[in-house]
Amino acid sequence: MNPEIMLKLGEFLTVMIVSASLGFYVEHLRFENYQDRIEIAVKNQQVTTSNIETSQKYVSTAIATDYLDKLNDLNDYYDRVQPSGDGSCKMPRSGATASSPHGKSPDPLAAQCAKTTLMLIELQKWVNDETSATYK
């Protein structure tokens, strides 16, 4: 075989190997850059998620406390005399009278309606507060 052809073939193969190696190296650097960006994005998302979870826990606790306070107020208003299973009534709570402020006996249906309404109002408040805490 002609030495000139062998030299040209060697040069061609060397250029091809160097080109392939450089191409691989450049793509490897791009991939490492991509991995770094993903790692930073994951860390940022973890911080954001942690902040949202903390905010949601705070909102949930505040609304639960508020709901229980309001429910206790409703119970104080409607359950002044609490019927027991044997047909008798428990004694009214201290300072409470056996009738409502309007002079009528508490209506159990009205009490249940008020409690259900309170539940719905507090649930709506919770959903709105959770949504605003999540999408700040």
Is the per-residue pLDDT at 113 higher than 70? Answer: yes
Place of tokens 């860390």: 43
pLDDT in tens, 60-102: 899 899 989 998 888 887 766 455 555 544 545 454 454 445 4
Best CA proximity match to 63, nearest among 135, 134, 2, 121: 121
pTM above 0.85, yes or no: no
- Count of C-beta atoms within a 10 Å radius of residue 133: 18
Residue 129: per-residue pLDDT: 84
Q: Where are the domains of the chain?
A: 57-136
Alpha-carbon distance values, 5 to 1, 13, 18 (Å):
7, 12, 20
How far from chain centre, in Å, is Cα 101? 42
How far apart CA 80 and CA 61 sit, in angstroms, is 28
Q: Do residues 77 and 94 make contact, with C-beta atoms less than 8 angstroms apart? A: no
How far apart CA 78 and CA 43 sit, in angstroms, is 52
Average pLDDT taken over every residue of the chain:
80
Residue 3: per-residue pLDDT: 85
pLDDT in tens, 19-72: 988 888 989 999 999 999 999 999 999 999 999 889 889 988 998 999 899 988
